[in-house]
Each structure stands twice: as C-alpha cells, then as structure tokens.
Amino acid sequence: MEDEVFAAAEELRRGGVVVLPTETVYGLAANALDPIAVSKIFKIKGRPHSDPLIVHVLDDTWIDRYAYINHYENRIRALVESFWPGPLTLVIKKRAIIPDIVTAGFSSVAVRCPRHRMFHNVLALCDFPLAAPSANPFGYVSPTTAEQVRQTFGKKVKIIVDGGSCSVGLESTIVDISKEVPKILRPGAITAEKISSVLDEPVSDYEQIVAENPTTPGQLKQHYCTTTKLVLFQNGHCEIPSVSSGKVAIIFNKKPSNIEKIMKKLPLSIEDIFWLSENGDQSDIARNLFATMQKLDGIGYSVIFCERPKRDGIGVAIDDRLLRAAAKYQVSDGKGPCLDV
C-alpha cells in the first residue's frame, strides 16, 4: 500500500494523473496548480471545461494559500474543526495561484480536506493541492471501489491506488460560505442542519440546482447516469411497465419483507431483487447506492427500477443523485403491474 502511495506522489510531481481513494468516491487527481496536468483530467474524463473542480488540501492551514479567508475566518474555523477531514467542501474566493481551468473561470474555488489516509499521505508527500473529480467517464456513476475504476480507466491511467470501498459513497456536501447566508450548493453527508448548528446561524437548505454552466460540481441535470435505463419509484409504490425483451431489476431501500409476493406480482425472480440496506439505514443506502447501480449496469438488464429515499438527512443527497441519474430516462413506457410494499 505504501509503495502505491509513493508511486502516486511521484507521478503527480511529474505532472501526471492518478486515481486516489477518498471516503466519498474515488478521485482522478492531478496537481491543482499545474494547468497542463489539470487539462489531462478533463481529457481523460471527457469532462467539459465549464464544469469546475474541487481542490483537495492537506489541512486547514493550506486554505490561506489558495483562498481569501479574511471575511469568513470564523465560519471556516468552526466548520473545519467540526467536519475536516471529511466530506465537506467550502466555496471561497480564490487566489490567483489557482488556475482558471480549475474553477471554470469563476472567482471562487471549492476546497476540501479528504479523510482517507492514503489520499492524505499523497498530499503530504506532494506538498501541493490536488484537483480530483470522481474517477469515472463524465456523467456516469461515480466509482466507490478501485475495481470499478479499472474497468473504465485501466488503460488511461498508470496508477490506481486501491484504498478499499469508500465509507460514505456519495460526493461531499458543497457549501458557499461567502454569502450573507451560507448556502448548500450540493447535498451530501454533512447536512444543512449540522452546518447551521456548528455556525450558530441560518444556512440555506438545498434546492435542486440545474445549470448548463455549473458554478460547482454536481449541478448538471443529467449526471451519475447508468447506461441501462433507470426509473425511480417512491414509498414502495412501483409501477413496472411491460418490457418487450430482456430482464428487469428492482432496487429497494431496505430488504422487503414480502419477496415472494413481489415475485408473483411482477416479472422478477429472486436474483433480480436488490436492497441497499437491511433495515433502511440512510448511511447504508448512501454507501451502497453507486456500487449497486454500477453492478446492475453491467449485467444486461433492460430497465433498473430504484426506490427513492425519504428526503431527510443524507436522504436529500441520495435523492439528488437519483433524480439526476434518471433525468434522461423520464419518458414513461406506460403502466404495468403495481406493487405496494
């Protein structure tokens, strides 16, 4: 493992791109201060340059190197003491040292300190920040294991550091602290309620943002998509349209208690029924969502049906990812058998 870390740091110092694990998802990393290195990220991912990147730092002492913190020092101090290292990204006015290619020309920069030990060690060896969006083709499901990355980027990236399965499974919360009222720009495991409690001031909760030219990652209408058609259902009420060919899969939030009833009423067999949590725990659902979507996408299903979560806590972030993942599949095939579970 340590050999991988040293090799990754050396490749980054040479201006290369590597894949690193974080607690959220795997990232495609390059020196954030090197425009040529950063441009390789966009090329490998097929990502438009209008979509800005997050800058990952070793700790809070690095923030002042790359952003102006004077007006937000109290907010920054409170948030980093409570949530860093961890899945929280702060949007702050950037210093000129951050290339425009990183921020899509915007005057602000998104900064995060990842919790994963291997990413942390690479940052310490490099002594420069890393731009690191998710290590997947642009718009596709984010990877939460090294094997998922190898399947897509194994021939494009020399070094993929295997740090095991990601413990959070969804991208970080992004909060703009430069506003009069701090605003959630992308939901994640750190909720608006938690941030407001730490800051002891109101925080604008998340309202789904759709932008052709996003100010931060995760604002495009279609994102986190599977190649297989994805259709969402809610509150256990699932209408399965007839499918002329191929198999149908269904994903529940928690293990259903009536699997036999489901198989009798819907065109499913036991191997086509999946659940993200044994008991509906939201953290389990978040951690297992992308991995399950990727797994089913490679099996050959015609349609994947996925249950939406309750929109509370991290459920807001889970639902956001699902709505964007299903956005290009909104045309209905017509109603079929209905199951209330």
Please state the three-class secondary structure of 11-50 as a single string: HHHCCCCEEECCCCCCEEEEECCCHHHHHHHHHHHCCCCC
Domain edges within the chain? 2-199, 229-340
- Burial (Cβ within 10 Å: 0-12, 13-18, ≥19) of residue 167: middle
pLDDT confidence of residue 214: 59
In whole angstroms, give the CA distance from residue 135 to residue 28: 5
pLDDT confidence of residue 341: 42
pLDDT confidence of residue 220: 61
DSSP 8-state assignment for residue 131: E
Q: What CATH architecture is 229-340?
A: 3-Layer(aba) Sandwich (3.40)
Antiparallel, parallel or unpaired: β 247-254 and 273-277: parallel
pLDDT confidence of residue 333: 42
DSSP secondary structure string for all residues of 140-196: BPPP-SHHHHHHHHTTT-S-B----S-SS-SPPEEEETTSSS-EEEE--SS-HHHHH
Same fold, 2-199 and 229-340: no
Q: What is the pLDDT along the chain (341 residues), one digit of tens a residue?
A: 679 999 999 999 999 999 999 999 999 999 999 999 999 999 999 999 999 999 999 999 999 999 999 889 999 999 999 999 999 999 999 999 999 999 999 999 999 999 999 999 999 999 999 999 999 999 899 999 999 999 999 999 999 999 999 999 999 999 999 888 999 999 999 999 999 999 999 998 777 666 556 566 766 667 788 999 998 888 766 666 555 456 889 999 998 887 777 777 777 788 889 999 999 999 999 999 999 999 999 888 988 999 999 989 999 999 999 999 998 776 444 444 444 44
pLDDT confidence of residue 331: 46
In whole angstroms, give the CA distance from residue 225 to residue 293: 9
Q: Residues 6 or more apart from 10 whose CB is under 8 A from it? A: none
Give one word for 54, left, alpha or beta, with left for phi > 0 and alpha for psi -120 to 50: beta
In whole angstroms, give the CA distance from residue 227 to residue 36: 31
Give the domain 2-199 fold.
DHBP synthase (3.90.870)
Read off the tokens for 217: 């990652």
